[in-house]
Structure 1
Amino acid sequence: MDEPVVLVERPAAGVGLVRLNRPRALNALNGPLMDGLMDTLAEMDRDSAIRCMVITGSDRAFAAGADISEMAQATPAEMIEMAFIARWERLRAIRKPVIAAVSGFALGGGCELALACDLIVASESAVFGQPEINLGVIPGAGGTQRLARTVGKALTMEMVLNDRRLTAVEAERFGLVNRVVPTADYLDAAVTLASQIAARAPVAAQAAKDAVNVALETPLAVGLAYERNQFYALFSTEDQKEGMAAFLEKRAPSWQGK
């Protein structure tokens, strides 16, 4: 029997880990893999025991791109019908924080998948790029948009027009990744970060994630209004009362996620 295209683990309290599992194809993102990934993330999002998620691949490849064999002969109508890009968009609906643990190739759709996550922990061997120009197309799952908002116009233009690829160190310098660690340690580092986030107030973490994303997508005045409303709304939660009581009583809070 074929191996599952995604492997699921719970490596620490409050943490769900999803591993892309098409090693022979360098985790090329085909329909079944993306469906399996997004279905798993949605299930974890509904699981109150999980408060932060990690997506990873292998040491050699996070994901080397989309599976070109699925689309090489497709028409525009067929691409729309197969809802290829919509699979990436499902990640936007995940409420809880998602970390990409990236080693090796993160190219094309793989780079876009990492960009769609909330944080990125990279191994020293990680390579990020958008080489779609070599195939006669452009990034279609957010590459031009999220890259420009992250690393700026000049570098984005070079990446999408001339296949410039970023090493892990360059990606950290340009603000694309949160941290770079040795390849032997990158997944442990991502799980540790996820564990730290999972230990925070869950409802507030989701509100914080939403507010930061709104900052990237709206004018400042709209973002400030959204942030203010989220801030006030959190005063209706049990966690706000617990967090402030614990601070005043000089003890650790006990979050309930309510």
Structure 2
Amino acid sequence: MTGYEFVDHRLSKLDGFQVEIDPAHERADIILNRPPFNIVSMPQRDQLRLAFETLEHDQRVRVIVVRAIGEHFSSGGNIAGFMEATPETVSKLAWNIASPARCSKPVIVANRGYCFGVGFELSLACDFRIASDTAQFALPEQKLGQIPGSGGSARLQKMIGITRTKDIVMRSRRIPARQALEWGIITECVADKDLEAATDKLVDELRTFAPLAQRTAKKLLNDTEDSTLTIAIELEGHCYSRLRQSDDFKEGVEAFDAKRPPKFVGR
């Protein structure tokens, strides 16, 4: 894509995906590139973690997009790799795939076609899921005599409840995009031809907000997902108080009073 740059030498030799940066739009793209099904290898999982950790510290990047080449986001992992991997490697699967959630920057995933297994689990770890109307979501591990191992069933249960999660996990059901939207699994469902445009639009929208406030909101929401209401409100108050001292909040108030667009700097 024109206007994109590679990140740095640590991400120059990747297994099944690539990372590109568009400094003009403060955007980084993590692009699955093993068509037609973008099967995720074992080494690729650890490299995905490295990619998010690298982009975390890249000052050119405000928003990260995860997308794929071809008509399918990912049909899942390399099945043979599970039998070859050591127990230590397997024990890190969920940690690696949770990298989008740990990253302080907003992460958008663009899904089309198959979004199965680890492809679905990676998507669930992102903040915003925009799906083409061709997308299908599934955790098919029961057909292999297994269960999801990278956070899929746990994240789904938090999102949609135990009844619907059992329906997906225990029956290896495929959920079409429109149903995923109705159930609250995805953020937005668009026509296949509009997937890229919808993703670009959300990137541009997120860039208008204060970086520090966005990072704070993401961490607060993640950290309080399992907490009681009392603790969540207490932590929200502390975060609000901290942001009250920020330069961006001062700029936001001044811009509001002056009826002009704010110029946030992230501090």
**TM-score, shorter chain, exceeding 0.5:** yes
SS in 2 for 1:63: coil
Kept in 2, the 8 Å contact 1:45–1:94? The answer is yes
Asked if 1:34 is matched to 2:45, the reply is yes
**What is the distance in 1 between the residues matched to 2:50 and 2:24?**
21
Matching residue of 1:155: 164
Q: State the match for 1:13 in structure 2.
A: 25
Query: What is the deviation of 1:101?
Result: 0.5
Letter in 2 for 1:216: E
> Is 1:141 matched up with 2:150?
yes
Residue number among 209, 223, 236 corresponding to 2:245 in the alignment: 236
Answer yes or no: is the 8 Å Cα contact 1:203–1:257 preserved in 2: yes
Contact 2:17 2:32 in 1 (8 A): yes
**What does residue 87 of structure 1 align with?**
96
Is residue 5–residue 32 contact of structure 1 (8 Å, CA) maintained in 2?
no
Pairing 1:47–2:58 present: yes
For 1:44 and 1:7, the matched residues in 2 are separated by 9
Correspondences of 1:115-126 after superposition (within 5 Å):
115-126=124-135
Q: Which residues in structure 2 correspond to 1:87-236 (within 5 Å)?
A: 87-236=96-245
Task: Name the CA distance, whole Å, in 1 between partners of 2:170 and 2:136.
Answer: 17
**2:78, 2:60 → 1: CA distance?**
33
Partner secondary structure for residue 98 of structure 2: helix
TM-score normalised over the length of structure 2: 0.89
- SS of equivalent residue, structure 2 residue 53: helix
Gaps of 5+ in 1: none
Partner of 2:258: 249
TM-aligned CA deviation for residue 126 of structure 1: 0.5
With structure 1 as the length reference, what TM-score do the two structures score? 0.92
Aligned mates of 2:194, 2:128 — CA distance in 1: 17
The answer (yes or no) to whether the contact 1:27–1:63 under 8 Å persists in 2 is yes
What whole-Å deviation, never above 9, does each CA across 1:114-159 have from its counterpart, x for those lacking one?
Answer: 0000010000100111110011110111111111111121111011
1:153 & 1:115 partners in 2: Cα distance?
16
Find the counterpart in structure 2 of residue 22 from structure 1: 34
**Identity percentage over the alignment?**
31
Bigger mean CA offset, 33-42 vs 91-100? 33-42
Highest RCO, 1 vs 2 (Cα 8 Å, sep ≥ 6): 1
Count of residues in correspondence between the two structures: 255
Q: SS at the partner of 2:123?
A: helix
SS in 2 for 1:17: strand
Q: Which residue of 1 aligns with 2:9?
A: none
Q: Residues of 1 paired with 2:80 and 2:235: CA distance?
A: 43
- The structural deviation recorded for 1:18 is 1.3
